[in-house]
Chains A and B, each alone.
Chain A
Amino acid sequence: MPANDDLQKAQRFREAAMPYLDDVYTLARYLLRDASDAEDAVQECYLRALKHFDSYRGPAMKPWLFAILRNVCNAEYARRAHRHSAIEDTPGAAEQTPIWQETEAGPETEMLRSRDAGAIRKLIDALAEPFKETFVLREINNLSYREIAEAAGVPVGTVMSRLARARAMLRAAWTAEEEQAR
Chain B
Amino acid sequence: MTCDEARILLHALLDNELDAGHAREVEAHIASCPACAAELASQHEMKRVLADADLRYTAPSSLRARIEASLPQPQRQPTRRSVLRGFAMGSAVSALAASGVVALVLRQDDQQRILSEVVSAHLRSLQAGHLIDVVSTDQHTVKPWFNGKLDVAPPVIDLTAQGFTLVGGRLDYIDARAIGAVVYKRRQHVINLFVAQTASTEHRLPKTQSMQGFNCRRWGERGLNFWAVSDIGGDELAEFVDKFEAAMKANVEG
A contacts, CB < 8 Å to B? 1-2, 6-7, 9-10, 13-14, 18, 21-26, 29, 38-39, 42-43, 46-47, 50, 99-100, 104, 106-112, 114-117, 120-121, 124, 138-140, 144-145, 160-161, 163-164, 167-168, 170-171, 174
**Residues from chain A with Cβ under 8 Å of B62 in the complex:** 39
Query: Is A22 in contact with B57, judged by CB distance below 8 angstroms?
Result: yes
Give me 11 other A-B pairs in contact (C-beta within 8 A), A21-B67, A50-B71 excluded: A2-B73, A10-B72, A22-B59, A99-B4, A111-B45, A114-B49, A117-B54, A164-B10, A164-B11, A167-B43, A171-B42
A47 touches B53 (CB 8 A): no
Cα–Cα distance between A2 and B70 once the two chains are bound (Å): 12
Q: List 15 A-B contacts (CB under 8 A).
A: A9-B72, A22-B57, A25-B59, A43-B67, A50-B70, A109-B45, A112-B42, A114-B49, A114-B52, A117-B55, A120-B53, A121-B55, A140-B55, A161-B8, A167-B11
Residues of B close to A100: CB separation below 8 A: 7, 35, 39
- The closest CB in chain A to the CB of B55 belongs to A140
A107–B50 CB distance below 8 A:
no
User: When A1-B75, A112-B49, A174-B46 are in contact, do A25 and B67 touch as well, CB less than 8 Å?
Assistant: no
- A50–B39 alpha-carbon span in the complex (Å): 44
In the docked arrangement, what's the CA distance between A174 and B55, Å? 15
- What's the least CB distance linking A73 to chain B, in Å? 15
- Residue numbers in B under 8 Å from A108 (CB-CB): 38
CB contact between A109 and one of B4, B41, B66, B72 (< 8 Å): that residue: B41
Kindly state whether residue B88 has any CB partner on chain A within 8 Å: no
How many Å from the CB of B10 to the closest CB on chain A?
A: 8
Is residue B15 contacting chain A, with contact meaning CB distance below 8 A? yes
Q: List A contacts of B60 (CB < 8 A).
A: 39
Interface assignment of B74: CB less than 8 Å from any CB of chain A: yes
Is there an interface contact between B55 and A107, defined as CB atoms closer than 8 Å? no
Bound together, the chains give a CA A120 to CA B54 distance in angstroms of: 9
- The answer to whether B132 has its CB under 8 Å from any CB of chain A is no
Q: State in angstroms the CA–CA spacing of A43 and B63 once bound together.
A: 7
Instruction: Give Cα A145 to B19, complex, Å.
Output: 13
- Knowing A100-B7, A145-B12, A164-B11, say if A46 contacts B59 (CB, 8 Å): no
- The minimal Cβ–Cβ distance linking A8 to chain B, given in whole angstroms, is 9
Is B107 interfacial (CB-CB < 8 Å)? no
Q: When the two chains form their complex, are residues B15 and A120 in contact, meaning their CB atoms are under 8 A apart?
A: no
Main secondary structure of the interface of A (DSSP, over half): helix
In the assembled complex, which residues on chain A have CB atoms less than 8 Å from the CB atom of B73?
2, 10
A24–B67 Cα gap in the complex (Å)? Answer: 13
Given the complex, which residues of B lie within 8 Å of A139, measured CB to CB? 47, 50, 55
Chain B positions within 8 Å of A2 at CB level = 72-73
Q: Which of B12, B47, B70, B72 has the most CB of A within 10 A?
A: B72
Within 8 A of A (CB), among B1-25: 4, 7-12, 15, 17
Bound-state CA distance A21–B74 (Å) is 21
Nearest CB on B from A149, distance (A): 11
Report the minimum CB–CB distance from A48 to chain B (whole Å).
11
Known: A25-B57, A115-B49. A145 touches B67 (CB 8 A): no
Contact B57 A171 (CB under 8 A): no
Q: Which of B50, B68, B72 contacts A6 (CB 8 A)?
A: B72
Which residue of chain B lies nearest to A6 when distances are taken between CB atoms in the complex?
Answer: B72
Is B249's beta carbon under 8 Å from chain A?
Answer: no
CB neighbours (8 Å) of A120 from chain B are 49-50, 53, 55
Q: Which of chain A's residues have a CB closer than 8 A to the CB of B207?
A: none
Per the bound structure, the CA–CA distance linking A22 and B57 in Å amounts to 7
A167 pairs with B49, CB closer than 8 A: no
* Inter-subunit contact B57/A7 (CB<8 Å): no
